[in-house]
Amino acid sequence: MGKVTLSLSLTYRYMMTSTHNLPHPDNELEPVLEPSTACYLPNDVCRQARLSRDARFDGRFFIGVKTTGIYCRSICPASPPKEQNVVYFDSAIKASQAGLRPCLRCRPDSAPESNAWQGTSTSLQRAISLIEGGSLSGENAQSLTELSARLGISSRYLSRLFNQQLGTSPKKYALYRQLMFAKQLLHQTSLSITDVAMAAGFNSIRRFNEVFKSQLLLTPTQLRKTQKVNKSAETNSQGIKLLLDYRPPYSWQDIWSFYQLRAVDSMEWLNETTYAYGRSFAFSFNEQTVTGVYEVVPVKGKNQLALTVEFEQTEHIRYLHQTVRFIRQRLDLDADMDVIEQSFEPLQNLGMKVKQGLRIPGTASVFEAGCRAVLGQQVSVIQASKLLNILVKNYGAVKRVGGREVQFFPTAESIAAASLDEFKMPESRKRALNGLGDFVAKNPFACPSKWIDIKGIGPWTIAYAQMRGESNPDVFLGGDLVIKNRIKALLLALNDLPDNKPFAIANKAEFTPKLYQRFVNNLAKQVSPWGSYLTFQLWSQNEN
């Protein structure tokens, strides 16, 4: 069977109209949900996708099998069940709440994420993000009241949001996510059961064993005995190795090239033979700074990256779940490119060839992205890279992690106090760097939009930091010089396209700021909420 075609408008229509009112069965194996309330995608699309094992739908829905009591990914290698014996779910948690167990062959715990099932509630989306980050698990777990306070809502309202959208409570959702990560570690690594429990956010091995068996009907030890640890994803003296799945298309070579052009010596490293990319990282979690290194390399013939993580301090394994999530976000592994790229039709109508699978290559922090943006003001990419290397070499810490000496990006405090005498650049730019460091040191959790009061920090710098430092998907840098030149070339070419005459220009003299802004505003609206992907498409076109 050929590939499934699903229009963007159809996808969004189902996203916006689904009700998701789910019950709470205790020990039933057969799903009690009707397909129409369990999945925002239409049944015929799900049926075609599962029968063709279309990898573009991996993680966008799951298949509950009534006769076996399990749920599977759309790419499950097992013989497909009859249509009358399946029910579709748009998230694994809904399948679990219907009393189903995860398939041991296709391993739903390893599927790429999808945000479509979360609905449109900002509070729910923020809550899920905080829970995924470990707010309700681990030794420093918050109470539901504390989590609700961070969101500015009551715990009762938060519970109602979860029950209406997911059919479960916030704490049960957090517990499910912990179990699925633990299952992934049991499948893929040789970590001890104790380390698996700790890495998944459990404070007690006894509690871990009890919950695991009650939910999956196997103990952690029994599950591991049924599976052979993947030799490409295990634990050894060189760190913890895992396989990270993604939905195709994913143009890793473009991402790798983007990183290569902007790489910092000893902080980042790349291999031109294997296309491996690695770097140091430092992020804060519950007032704890977690430092280490990671490296990823594409797995030939599969929609996976092989990840290796090593922490500076071995006890930081308790933050492995948060670290893997952090890396997935920075590499944009969970983007649904099939949906995103359908929004680029306006660009294709202008004669521009869209690169498939072009993701957002993130940085290790929003502060790092801000510094990169400041140093990149009014200079070439190559010159900006040289300046960044000087900054890291002179003000970043050097530590030995993973058997190598690595540089870490400077802290905000170090940049705030830096003389920056090593730089041959305008004093105003130095003051902007100092000011940025000072502000972030004093306000580590402030939104980048607050940087606007820092002298020398403008909208372009803030937008760049949000795009690469926060992985914001809807940042269109229409004021960027490279993008402006690329769009100018497109408009000059419009003379041969009569349907686009309102924006056509006969020569560069007609390229007025007013016309450009009108065109950019129109384009940004058409591709929203995927403006960041439009930015990288246009940057990529300029490199050809």
251 pLDDT more than 60: yes
Cα(130)–Cα(61) distance, integer angstroms:
23
pLDDT (tens digit per residue) in 466-524: 999 999 999 999 989 999 988 888 777 766 555 545 555 656 666 788 888 888 888 88
pLDDT at 346: 77
pLDDT at 22: 31
CA distances from 402 to 89, 198, 284, 313, 405 (A): 41, 21, 20, 11, 8
Tokens for 253, please give them. Answer: 């070579």
Task: Report the side by side order of strands in the sheet with 86-89.
Answer: 86-89, 62-65, 70-73, 101-102
Peptide bond into 249 cis (omega under 30): yes
The mean-pLDDT minimum among 105-119, 149-163, 209-223, 323-337 falls in 105-119
**What ranges do the domains of the chain cover?**
8-106, 121-226, 235-312, 343-351+472-544, 363-470
23 pLDDT more than 80: no
Tokens for 66, please give them. Answer: 């009534």
Cα(529)–Cα(336) distance, integer angstroms:
12
Ranges of H-type helices in 283-416: 320-330, 337-340, 345-349, 366-375, 381-395, 412-416
**Domain covering 8-106: architecture:** 3-Layer(aba) Sandwich (3.40)
CB-side neighbour CA atoms (13 Å) of 56: 18
pLDDT at 359: 97
67 pLDDT more than 90: yes
Q: What is the mean pLDDT of residues 1-13?
A: 38
**Which of 5-14, 23-32, 297-306 has maximum average pLDDT?**
297-306
The more confidently predicted of residues 437 and 90 is 437
Contact 162/124 with Cβ under 8 angstroms?
Answer: yes
pLDDT at 503: 55
Residue indicated by tokens 């009859």: 82
pLDDT at 541: 82
Tokens for 400, please give them. Answer: 């030995």
What is the CATH number that goes with domain 363-470?
Answer: 1.10.340.30
pLDDT at 456: 95
CATH topology of domain 235-312: TATA-Binding Protein (3.30.310)
Cα(265)–Cα(386) distance, integer angstroms:
10
pLDDT at 502: 54
247 pLDDT more than 60: yes
pLDDT at 319: 93
pLDDT at 489: 83
**Spatial CA neighbour of 187 closest among 174, 200, 176:** 200
**Domain covering 121-226: architecture:** Orthogonal Bundle (1.10)
pLDDT (tens digit per residue) in 113-128: 887 666 556 888 889 8
pLDDT at 229: 55
pLDDT at 405: 94
Cα(303)–Cα(283) distance, integer angstroms:
27
Q: What is the mean pLDDT of residues 144-157?
A: 90
Angle at 376 between CA 371 and CA 379, to 5 degrees: 155
Tokens for 522, please give them. Answer: 């129109």
pLDDT at 286: 72
pLDDT at 118: 62
**Which of 88-97, 126-135, 261-270, 512-521 has maximum average pLDDT?**
261-270
The mean-pLDDT minimum among 34-38, 126-130, 457-461 falls in 34-38
Task: Report the side by side order of strands in the sheet with 276-285.
Answer: 235-236, 239-245, 304-311, 288-298, 276-285, 268-271
33 pLDDT more than 50: no
Specify the 3-state DSSP secondary structure of 270: strand
pLDDT at 123: 85
Terminal CA-CA length for the chain: 35
pLDDT at 40: 79
Specify the 3-state DSSP secondary structure of 394: helix
**Spatial CA neighbour of 241 closest among 190, 195, 201:** 190
